[in-house]
Amino acid sequence: MVFFLQNENYDMKKLEGGLNNIAGIRSAGFKEGKYGVSLIVFDKVCKAEGVFTTNKICAAPVKVTKERIKNGIRAIVANSGNANCSTGEKGVKDAEFMCVKAASLFKINEKNVAVASTGIIGRYLDIETVSQRIEKAASKLGSGSIDAATAIMTTDTKPKELCIDFGNFKIAGIAKGAGMIHPNMATMLCFIVTDAEFKGGDLKVAANASFNMMSVDNDMSTNDTVLLVSTGEKKTFGFTEALTMFCQEMAKMIVADGEGVTKVIEVEVKGAKNDTDAKKAARAISDSYLVKCAVFGNNPNWGRVAAAAGYSGAELNENRMKIWYEVSDKRVLLFDGFAKEFDKPALGEEMKKVKEIRIIVDLSLGSGSSKAWTGDLSYDYVKINAEYN
């Protein structure tokens, strides 16, 4: 876990087992070769909310789930290996078939089944293979969320599951995502379940401070889907803040497993004129290929950070700006209105030893703040995507 958050408002504990910690749900997954299916089934129809890709090329399962989520959710079925995108009317029918198939196995209304897909764009689903994998996943229902998380992996190197106990309620989830990671949703699927009640709009607030503040390669996918489902058993206060922290943890897990990533970079911008400016600067820095390449090369080239902040659109006064690199809990001031003297070779050697670094920028203009997460850009990223088909 990278940069695990702490908050004095909650007695937070990370629990093993992911979705298994939430009563009233069962999950399973089955994968053979590149193609898998995950299932999450609820004991009752549950309130749900979703955020989705903003790409105008939008996959069939996204279109179907956007409509069905209004009915409440009783099950989620997701496949990997094929995005079912740019597949026309057949693609929509295939996505609907996945819902029908899951509903028939569990004797529930197919209008309460959400669907998601991830994989290659522009290929029709082999619906017979998908149907068989739904059946095999259903036969394992209750085996656990690690199987469900594994089944939706594509170029991911590890399954992603998380559960945080916030004291009087829990939030749990699984996710996949490694490439095509860019703010305003990434190439990711994330299914979050809680035993707390939530308000409409909570997920959007949380996503804007987490999934929409991460990047790996600045490419936006066509299939991004994040669903929040509540069993609705516990009334609570402060859920939005807790959900935001949960989503930030999941976002960092995704970035840490990004294609070719060797280091996770947390960018913190503070002292901005307002939060909007802070967000602009944080995203510009985290999206910068030059910053990412410098970190891969263990080169504390703060000039690239300064340049990205300068073109971000945030109000900025160079004479008041400060930049630090934090490595192994040691913070080094590199810029304070002008270039500072520091031991660049020594800092570079420290960067070689770690898997995560923080870049802190203080604009010294106000109280605005924001964080973003990204990974370095390595040779392996090019190799992975040159061969992906």
CATH of the domain at 217: 3.60.70.12
Residue type present at position 161: E
Work out how many domains the chain is built from and give that number: 2
Query: Sign of dihedral through CA atoms 145, 146, 151, 155?
Result: positive
Q: 181, 188 in Cβ contact below 8 A? A: yes
Indicate yes or no: pTM above 0.75: yes
168 and 287 share one domain: no
318 and 219 share one domain: no
314 and 330 share one domain: yes
Alpha carbons 165 and 232: distance in angstroms, whole number? 16
pLDDT given for residue 102 in this prediction:
98
Backbone angles phi, psi at 248, to 5 degrees: -65, -40
318 and 212 share one domain: no
Residue ending a domain, among 256, 281, 316, is: 256
40 and 115 share one domain: yes
| 187 flagged as catalytic | yes
Establish if 7 belongs to a structural domain: no
Cα 250 to chain centroid distance, Å, stands at 6
pLDDT given for residue 5 in this prediction:
54
pLDDT given for residue 2 in this prediction:
42
CATH for 322: 3.10.20.340
pLDDT given for residue 185 in this prediction:
54
Token code pair at residue 18: 């992911």
Using the CB atoms, write b or e for 311-340: b if 16+ within 10 Å: ebebebeeeebbbbbebeeeebebbeeeee
Establish if 74 belongs to a structural domain: yes
pLDDT given for residue 221 in this prediction:
65
pLDDT given for residue 10 in this prediction:
73
Establish if 213 belongs to a structural domain: yes
Residue ending a domain, among 232, 256, 280, is: 256
Residues 10, 273, 332: CA angle, nearest 5 degrees = 70
| Range of the structural domain that residue 322 is part of | 264-387
Residue corresponding to tokens 């876990």: 1
User: How many other C-beta atoms can be found within 10 angstroms of the C-beta atom of residue 211?
Assistant: 27
Token code pair at residue 280: 């602009």
Instruction: From first to last of the 389 residues of the chain, give the pLDDT tens digit.
Output: 344 455 667 778 999 999 999 999 999 999 999 899 999 999 999 999 999 988 888 999 999 999 999 999 999 999 999 999 999 999 999 999 999 999 999 999 999 999 999 988 999 999 999 999 999 999 999 998 999 999 999 878 899 999 999 999 999 999 997 554 555 554 589 999 999 999 999 999 999 999 888 876 555 667 889 999 999 877 788 999 999 999 999 998 888 887 778 999 999 999 999 999 999 999 999 999 999 999 999 999 999 999 999 999 999 999 999 999 999 999 999 999 999 999 999 999 999 999 999 999 999 999 999 999 999 988 877 776 677 55
Which of 187, 225, 244, 374 is flagged as catalytic? Answer: 187
pLDDT given for residue 234 in this prediction:
72
pLDDT given for residue 20 in this prediction:
95
